[in-house]
Structure 1
């Protein structure tokens, strides 16, 4: 059976995975999904000892069947090579009674690298016959980490350009410098006068602007696509590391093939934890997926009440990549959990757009809660988690991982079910917060804090982060939300 993709809000499309990746977002604003998800299972009994690259070939082959084995091998080889600081790509560490899956050993020190090192390679293989000199403009809103990871992945990639918007004053100094110092002739970066949700909503509106799309195609031979996890090509590579974690647990003797595992996932846009759902559908024995939120706990409230309400205060926290009130990938989960009820999803998303809230049927909520757990941590609790994890285990975590660590420590432990906490960023991306949490001197610049943290913990900052102190800033553009379309128009003409 041929795997096809269509919108979460209708079933009229019938796209290949290459077409879905190239387009990014469905014309009706929905996200691309495949009704064949789960029909092909991934073999797990021989995962122990398997290299990450081989696991990736197996998982991505099941999810993206219109890519040939050779195409996938080329993409995987280029994406998961010497640019990673650890040959395991996503190593698993035992920390206390739990396991931590380190997803931050890529070139930008955040979990987004897992997908954004391979997405440009996917994109390069999606050019249809007859497209001529058409290029793809990757358009991305970021709450902190996606922007740099996308920039690093797409910089000077043939046939592409990239524009990244980030909320002004709402990312860390290190995150901002990572973006504004990015090299590459095809990159554009701008700060937005608003929060991440403002930027993300504007980006979705730009994707839905048919007049703009026609103009860009005619004048600039350009089509828009996304590097956010709304793009299915960004989402599916994240499924791989759930299988990789299981492989490492098997190697450690923590599980036998078929034993269940629990994952605790810090998430704002729901993509990181949704990848765990995809893994379960592919046959990975996932018992629970626990959604860990920060003070912007809209997902916690939804998973406990069934009402999603974005009409609430937005908090700028010490875990900025999770400061999100509109979790886009939740839409995919709702589609699958409602057994493909595109009409329901369209209604819920319409309610969210019009009223700022929606409520799911009680039967649907009950089904969701059988798999998805939830918890959240305020900023004081995040700091406590960073401190306690170091004091008890000699292990340093960043503020996002700390949300998940805090939630995990409150959960009852089930005998015989290993618990894996996903660690999404290097603590050196947020050195001031980590230093403050550990009771260290946090005066001076973020780079002074890096040095203080390194000396106190015996760890080393990634060279790419420490080197930002002397990197030249290339971008200082600032735009209003309503000026983002014109900024994209100009970027496409460059």
Structure 2
């Protein structure tokens, strides 16, 4: 299978090249030229497979540069029981008769980003060998909270790599920040940015497009790549858990083969729900894709109006990983739906860069409205939803998952669609104790990581081991930079 840039449409590269490069030189995102089609027989075959085997089955259809044996080795390493606290890896929790929750936070950093970022280092390392690349790779990451820690953990001490993570100062939860600044490893770096996530993400994109910097790094034996979801190696492993969830819904008797179900995803950068869209396009019988936003509802407005406009206030919310106004992965959807292809996408992205907004044509609007439904949830409703799900179902959820539960309830009420639903849970509630405790009626008496023990005692649930041990780890990284100083941090990282 070949991969093409969303802004070119002519140049075709191999999977290994797409993974190594991360971002196309024209600024576009690599996307598959075609999507594989899975038959009912394929899903039936996967029903009895372990998650690792399902991962190989799905990824093998996209990665013809890799042998099945290679992928099997990667899957065993990425999704081993030494890293995930559930043998199911991505278990389903039936919350009501009509709604199940897909728990994607059982990995080493207690967030859904582990599902891809435990796999990406293996794909990237193998791709470097296959392409004959002799330089080392510096992974640059902008994070709104969870990607940073998951990427740091995934690439820690991986030969031939270094990783530098930028996060918005005061724009992540205390637990998320501690997870990053205490990260172990000889090849890792962390720096906060004065600004919000979009500032950090824009800064990283600018570094990638800096020709002079690329030449300087190359002379020193380095080149840049990304672990953000702009890298196809991040998106592909996320498709796996939607395929796997369908198989599990069949096995649980929630669905019969071919029966449609709706999926609700809390999203900011659009990569997670994009992966569900790809799964649907490949044959998973997903009905409506429900996009859940917090107060930063740029995606909700876009899906409802066809106008993407980042010219709006930015809010710090209880669900910080969704505090995003520039949703990079939306570009891949536009490429798939636009009849004008790469030329049309270039126009949209140029307008976004120049004016901060664009409006898709009527054909794309209609396609989006048939595929997606969108709603938003403010902080007050987020708290109410955490409380209600806990009180009514004894199920503890984090603020991001609460946004999804609320929006999915809103979707059902407004549309009358009672088809089975899958709500995607993206983080452990123990990562957001300061928000979850008051929501379930408990007044915190301590602060910082001590809140993890408080929430555990209040809910009667043991916290993930990686979070329970967080308070005893020394802080290694205290750097802060302005937006225009990020390039200097890259150079300093390589001088260490």
Structure-2-length-normalised TM-score: 0.97
Corresponding residue of 1:464: 466
Give yes or no for contact 1:50–1:247 (8 Å, CA) kept in 2: no
Corresponding residue of 1:167: 168
Q: 1:4 aligns with which of 2, 11, 29?
A: 2
Whole-Å Cα distance in 1 between the matches of residues 493 and 458 of structure 2? 44
SS of the aligned residue for 1:384 comes to helix
Whole-Å Cα distance in 1 between the matches of residues 107 and 198 of structure 2? 26
Partner deviation per Cα, 1:212-240 (whole Å, 9 max, x = no partner): 11110112x11100000000000110001
Whole-Å Cα distance in 1 between the matches of residues 147 and 297 of structure 2? 20
Corresponding residue of 2:14: 16
Whole-Å Cα distance in 2 between the matches of residues 216 and 246 of structure 1? 44
Corresponding residue of 2:61: 62
Instruction: Report the more deviating stretch, 145-154 or 283-292.
Output: 283-292
SS of the aligned residue for 2:289 comes to strand
Whole-Å Cα distance in 2 between the matches of residues 362 and 72 of structure 1? 41
Partner deviation per Cα, 1:115-168 (whole Å, 9 max, x = no partner): 000000001101256846411110000000000000000000011110000000
Give yes or no for contact 1:41–1:62 (8 Å, CA) kept in 2: no
Whole-Å Cα distance in 2 between the matches of residues 304 and 132 of structure 1? 44
Structure 1 segments of 4+ aligned residues over 6 angstroms from their partners: 413-416
Partner deviation per Cα, 1:350-396 (whole Å, 9 max, x = no partner): 00000000000112111111011111100000000000000000000
Whole-Å Cα distance in 1 between the matches of residues 279 and 130 of structure 2? 33
SS of the aligned residue for 1:9 comes to coil
How big is the alpha-carbon RMSD for the aligned residues of Structure 1 and Structure 2? 1.4
Corresponding residue of 2:387: 387
Corresponding residue of 2:89: 89
Matches within 5 A, 1:69-218: 69-81=68-80, 82-96=82-96, 97-128=98-129, 131=132, 133-218=134-219
Mark the runs of 5 or more structure 1 residues left unpaired by the alignment: none
Matches within 5 A, 1:284-433: 284-339=284-339, 341-412=341-412, 417-433=419-435
Give yes or no for contact 1:116–1:153 (8 Å, CA) kept in 2: yes
Whole-Å Cα distance in 2 between the matches of residues 379 and 425 of structure 1? 17
SS of the aligned residue for 2:250 comes to helix
Give yes or no for contact 1:40–1:62 (8 Å, CA) kept in 2: no
SS of the aligned residue for 2:258 comes to coil
Task: Please state if 1:46 is matched with 2:48.
Answer: no
Give yes or no for contact 2:239–2:279 (8 Å, CA) kept in 1: yes
Change in CA separation of 1:396 and 1:50 when aligned onto 2, cut-off 3 Å: same
Task: Please state if 1:244 is matched with 2:244.
Answer: yes
Change in CA separation of 1:319 and 1:415 when aligned onto 2, cut-off 3 Å: closer
Task: Please state if 1:255 is matched with 2:247.
Answer: no
Mark the runs of 5 or more structure 2 residues left unpaired by the alignment: none
Corresponding residue of 2:224: 224
Whole-Å Cα distance in 2 between the matches of residues 17 and 301 of structure 1? 34
SS of the aligned residue for 2:28 comes to coil
Whole-Å Cα distance in 1 between the matches of residues 315 and 93 of structure 2? 32
Number of matched pairs: 491
Give yes or no for contact 1:259–1:417 (8 Å, CA) kept in 2: no
Give yes or no for contact 2:37–2:283 (8 Å, CA) kept in 1: no
Whole-Å Cα distance in 2 between the matches of residues 448 and 180 of structure 1? 17
SS of the aligned residue for 2:44 comes to coil
Give yes or no for contact 2:194–2:482 (8 Å, CA) kept in 1: yes
Give yes or no for contact 1:441–1:452 (8 Å, CA) kept in 2: no
SS of the aligned residue for 1:295 comes to coil
